[in-house]
Amino acid sequence: MSKPPLDGIRVADFCWAWAGPYGSLQLAHLGAEVIRIESATRMCPTRLIPPWAENEKGVNRAGYFNQYNQGKRSITLDLKKPEGLGVAKKLVAKSDIVIENFAAGVMGKMGLGYEVLRKLRSDLIMISLSGYGTTGPESSYVSYGPPQVALSGMSSLTGYQGGPPQQAGFSYGDPNGGVHGSFAILCALLHRAKTGEGQYIDLSQREACAMLLPEALMEYAINGTQPDRNGNRDPYLAPHGVFRCQGEDCWVSIVVGSEEEWRGFCAAIDQPGLTADSRFCSLAARKEHEDDLEQIVTLWTRGRTAEAVTHTLQQAGIAAYPSLNGRDLLANSHAAERDFFVDLEHPEVGKRRHSGIPWKMSRTPCAVRRPAPCLGQDTTYVLEEILDLSQDEISSLKAKAVLV
Amino acid sequence: MPGGALAGFRIVEYGDMVSAAYAAKLMADMGAEVVKVENPVGGDTARQRGPFPGRIPHPEKSGLFLYLNTNKRGITLNLETQRGQEIFRRLIAQADLFLHNIHPTRMSALGIDYERLAQRNPALVMTSITPFGLSGPQSHYHAHDLTLWNAGGLCYLNGGGPGSEDLPPLKVFGQQAGFQAGIHAAVASLGALFARVRDGLGQHIDFSMQECLMAISEFAGIMPAYANQIVVRFTGNKAIRPLDIMECKDGWIYLCCVEEHQWKGFVDIMGNPEWATEPLFATRLERAENWDALKLFLEPWVKEQTVQDLYHKAQARRIPFAPVSTMGDLLDSEHLKVRGFFAEIAHPQAGTFPYPTAPYHFSATPWMLRRPAPCLGQHNAEVYGELGIDTREIEHLRQGEVI
């Protein structure tokens, strides 16, 4: 077995919160050495929010931080001090990639803009992930993850039939922005491998979210309209929805994808006669009588568990799956069999189950090599082994309270 | 800078709808040479899904297909035939990356066999995007975008609100499972290409759509592992408020006050009303606990505002409000115009419309349009010609329903 794809690639990671860290997480998954530059004077927000392990607060006990920073290292530097900035620049000079998700212009104001950093390393690849991008009349606007879903157009399109715009249930704009960022970085890495040339990438999270909405954007571009909010329904398929099952707040998702599957579905629910019912005998008919259709499906599902429904329908060749909650997710036997979950021992919170890497590579396997870092745990390693600082230099930094 | 960041990479894509197509589109837009393989009859099923001009279905005019397949060349090939599989192997023999989203149960019948393909081309990277991966007890399960969004734990998180207890968990609009699989699989694929450049050898990537959705499920997996609780859509993650969509005179706005100074700024915009001094609303945690009461005061005031006015006023005070943008808002946005996010693309049959381009600006290798989405089989002569198959042979194969 060979070294992971990005073995030997070093990332100076100035990211915080979720979007940026999710992007650098993909690089860590691919085997890069990702070094988070943190500071107790400017703590990453995700070290400060619950859930805490055993409900005890602590910057190394935050589940959210520990999930999205698996595999990375952490150095603490006070970037407001010139010595701290100096160390950060030394690290950048030894790094292939700089990634940051501050508001537009913040890195520049700190003295860490691309024009400065590329002088330290001419083939540097740097990416800025911001809500609005670094150009344009709204580039100075403040952007948080949750409003991105609304800003990008997604909320306008999401919601129950006849109901108001809804959110996504989670801060979807963040991981989406982050993963598009890691794609961009890899493009730049491949370009550099061929030409020796680095570059600067300016990514807008709002635009990354808008990339996911072509059916609506193109409808507006072509016809001047946008799709009405339609719950879990689909314009081209029926049945297509999430149906109540036995148990408290238990649901199953079902999609019947063709006329052949519809016949199989009717047989599977012991209602073969439905195929002859004029309300349901074609897709157009089922769309017209979709309320009735969904009632019939519910009558069948509500007396059964989501697992039983799934099993029966999958046997009949139909797409169905329970609506997993968080506990179901971690207990999912299929994902567990695939070794998707990571159960590493964290120095402060012990063994916790985390979601892992959604791909398996046959020749250069990827694995989460270490849990998320405790704050500043790798400061000595970075200063001594990467930057080759002397003990005197390190002592001096400590004395000036730079390494905090 | 001829070509783009991925210039020189030859990519073959085969599949339906979103995941493989989006991954390949992102690469084509960055300069890779992408050949999209489609079945001769009907092609990619995305061609049957609109939006269509005037709502009239036409396989060359699907907005979804047109967007997902910019910058690619398109050929037709019937992989259900021996001859088709033979041609396919010749095509893959020259490829750097082969991306597909064919279901695991159909792969071998179509000749999609990594071991065999790699024998002839050991540098090949092949990425198999499947609903549940290529191994495990449910790898044969059938799936659609909605069932995967549920299998990833994401649907369950959404749709709460007063009076909604009988309503099901709510999906996000569109083909989100497909898009997330596409972008994540693109990351993995480029990683493997980077390893290929280093080692001269390719490999097989087994990519599970369910797993990538589990990976982005925010608090869903974390809450049970750390706090022995689950996230339910009725209360959501609202430890802080307002973090909510509210109706304005002419649309909707997302109110977002995470820090105390942001709330104070909002109170100031509202003219410092008496009710805002209530102890019930003093801190963000209390505002969340007393949201039902707070809403009663906020809603009537917000209803009198216009979206853009409130949005810009708030942002002027560094409060992260955002409009609930409509598609019209996006296409008319001055900011997005300056960003160049949309570009007019002309297609020989569908016509000319604005399309989203890319969410990133590269200083050295920018996004570039070389060609619109291909018509079905548009590049048969060109691509098969490169394989040494002349036009007479192509015609013969077409009659034999191989091409």
ipTM computed for the complex: 0.98
Q: How confident is the model at residue B358 (pLDDT cuts 50, 70, 90)?
A: very high
pLDDT band at A145 (very low <50, low <70, confident <90, very high): confident
pLDDT of residue A272: 94
Contact list in B for residue A4 (CB cut-off 8 A) is 195
- Residues of chain B with pLDDT > 90, as a percent, come to 92
Q: Is the peptide bond before A239 cis (omega within 30 degrees of 0)?
A: yes
Of all residues in chain A, the one with the smallest CA distance to B184 is A179
Which residues 175-194 on chain A approach chain B with CB closer than 8 angstroms?
175-177, 179-184, 186-191, 193-194
**Chain B contact present for A105, CB below 8 A:** no
pLDDT averaged over every residue in chain B = 96
Q: Where is average pLDDT lowest: B3-7, B46-50, B164-168, B197-201?
A: B164-168
Look at A158 and B212 and tell me if their CB atoms are within 8 Å.
no
Confidence at residue A144, expressed as pLDDT on a 0 to 100 scale: 87
Q: What's the mean pLDDT in A354-367?
A: 98
Structural domains of chain B sorted by starting position, each given as residue range(s) with its CATH number in brackets? 10-216+337-399 (3.40.50.10540), 243-325 (3.30.1540.10)
Q: Is the pLDDT of residue B236 over 50?
A: no
Inter-chain residue contact A138 with B315, CB threshold 8 Å: yes
Min Cα–Cα distance to chain A from B49, Å: 7
Residue A338 parent element (H or E): none
CA distances from B164 to A171, B59, B106, B167, B169 (A): 21, 39, 40, 5, 9
A218, A340, A361 member nearest B211 (Cβ): A340
Q: pLDDT band for position A140 (50/70/90)?
A: very high
User: CB of A308 within 8 Å of any CB in chain B?
Assistant: no
pLDDT score, position B89: 98
Instruction: For B233, name the nearest residue in chain A, comparing CA atoms only.
Output: A169
| Chain A 276-295, residues with CB within 8 Å of chain B CB atoms | none
For residue A397, the distance in angstroms to the closest alpha carbon of chain B comes to 33
Q: How confident is the model at residue A1 (pLDDT cuts 50, 70, 90)?
A: low
| Nearest by CB: B320 against A147, A243, A257 | A147
The total number of residues written for chain A in this structure: 404
Q: Are A103 and A66 in contact (CB under 8 A)?
A: no
Query: Which residues of chain A does B7 touch, with a Cβ-Cβ cutoff of 8 Å?
Result: 194
Residues of chain A with pLDDT > 70: what percent? 100
- pLDDT above 90 (res B165): no
Of B156, B146, B289, the C-alpha closest to B232 is B156
Average the pLDDT over A61-72 and give the result: 97
Residues forming CATH 3.30.1540.10 domain(s) in chain A: 240-325
Chain B residue closest in CA terms to A177: B359
Q: Which residues of B touch A187 (CB under 8 A)?
A: 5-6, 30, 190, 362, 365
Interface residue A381 vs chain B (CB under 8 A): no
Sheet holding A73-76, edge to edge: A73-76, A33-38, A10-13, A97-100, A125-130, A199-204, B360-362
Q: Which residues of chain B neighbour A175 with C-beta distances below 8 Å?
A: 215-216, 218
Per-residue pLDDT tens digits for B177-234:
999 999 999 999 999 999 999 999 999 999 999 999 999 999 999 999 999 999 989 8
Question: A10-212+338-399: CATH homologous superfamily?
Answer: Crotonobetainyl-coa:carnitine coa-transferase; domain 1 (3.40.50.10540)
pLDDT, tens digit (0-9, with 9 covering 90-100), for A217-260:
999 999 999 999 999 999 999 999 999 999 999 999 999 999 99
d(CA B199, CA A84): 38
Q: Is B344 exposed, middle or buried (0-12, 13-18, 19+ CB in 10 A)?
A: exposed
- Rounded to the nearest angstrom, the minimum Cα separation between B392 and chain A is 37
Nearest beta carbon to residue B206 from set A63, A214, A360:
A360
The number of CA neighbours under 13 Å toward the Cβ of B397 is 25
Residue B340 above 60 pLDDT?
A: yes
Measured between alpha carbons, how far is residue B119 from residues B80, B107, B122, B194 in Å?
A: 21, 17, 6, 20
Report how many Cβ contacts below 8 Å link chain A to chain B: 511
Q: In chain B, which residues have their Cβ closer than 8 Å to the Cβ of A155?
A: 245, 252, 254, 324
**Among A54-58, B200-204, B288-292, the least confident range:** B288-292
Residues A78-99 have pLDDT tens digits of: 999 999 999 999 999 999 999 9
Residues of chain B contacting residue A228, judged by C-beta atoms under 8 Å apart: none
Please compute the mean of the pLDDT values over residues B386-394 and round it to a whole number.
96
Distance between CA atoms of A335 and A170, rounded to whole angstroms?
A: 21
For residue B171, give how far its alpha carbon lies from the nearest alpha carbon of chain A (Å).
6
Report the mean per-residue pLDDT for chain A.
97
Catalytic positions of A are 174
A115 pLDDT higher than 80: yes
- The answer to whether the Cβ–Cβ distance between B327 and A144 falls below 8 Å is no
State the best of B47, B67, B156, B244 to mutate against chain A, taking most chain A CBs within 10 Å: B156
Distance, in angstroms, between B17 CA and closest chain A CA? 12
Tell me which residue in B169, B319, B356 faces A210 most closely, judged by beta carbons. B356
Displacement of CA A398 from its chain's centroid (Å): 36
- Beta partners for B36? B13, B74
b/e burial code for range B269-303 (CB count within 10 A of at least 16 → b): bbeeeeebeeeebeebeebbbbbeebbebbeeebe
Q: Tell me which chain A residues have a C-beta less than 8 angstroms from the C-beta of B208.
A: 335, 338, 340, 358-359
Q: By C-alpha distance, which of A104, A210, A229 is closest to A151?
A: A210
Average pLDDT over residues A206-219: 98
pLDDT tens digits, one per residue of A4-13: 999 999 999 9
Cα(A285)–Cα(B329) distance, integer angstroms = 35
Q: Are B319 and A244 in contact (CB < 8 Å)?
A: no
How far B19 CA lies from chain A's nearest CA (Å)? 11
A319-322 and B322-323 strand pairing: unpaired
pLDDT at B239: 75
Task: Looking at the complex, report in whole angstroms how far the Cα of residue B274 sits from the nearest Cα belonging to chain A.
Answer: 28
**For chain A, what is the radius of gyration of the CA atoms?**
25
Q: How many residues does chain B have?
A: 403
* Contact call for A219 and B225, based on CB within 8 A: no
Return the pLDDT at B319. Answer: 97
Q: Does A121 touch chain B (CB under 8 A)?
A: no
Question: Looking at beta carbons, which residues of chain A come within 8 Å of B207?
Answer: 358-360
Q: Which CATH number fits domain A240-325: 2.40.50.1020, 3.30.1540.10, 1.10.3720.10, 1.25.40.10?
A: 3.30.1540.10
* A263-317 pLDDT, tens digit each: 999 999 999 999 999 999 999 999 999 999 999 999 999 999 999 999 999 999 9
> Quick check: A79 and A37 in contact, CB under 8 A?
yes
CB contacts, 8 Å: A114 with chain B: 363
- For CATH 3.40.50.10540, the residue range(s) in chain A are 10-212+338-399
Share of chain B above pLDDT 70, in %: 99
When pLDDT is averaged across residues A135-142 and rounded to a whole number, the result is: 96
Residue type, A167: Q
**CA of B396 vs chain A CAs: smallest distance (Å):** 32
Is the minimum CB–CB distance between A103 and chain B shorter than 8 Å?
Answer: no
Which residue of chain B is at minimal alpha-carbon distance from A343?
B225
pLDDT tens-digit readout, A12-50: 999 999 999 999 999 999 999 999 999 999 999 999 999
Q: Answer yes or no: do B219 and A148 touch at CB < 8 A.
A: no
Question: Does A178 have pLDDT greater than 60?
Answer: yes
What's the pLDDT at B235? 64
B288 pLDDT higher than 60 = yes
Mutate to test the interface with A, among B56, B170, B189 (most CBs of A within 10 A): B170
Contact B203 A362 (CB under 8 A): yes
Closest partner residue to B136 (CB to CB) among A167, A223, A337 is: A337
**pLDDT tens digit sequence for B103-161:** 999 999 999 999 999 999 999 999 999 999 999 999 999 999 999 999 999 999 999 77
State the pLDDT at residue B2: 58
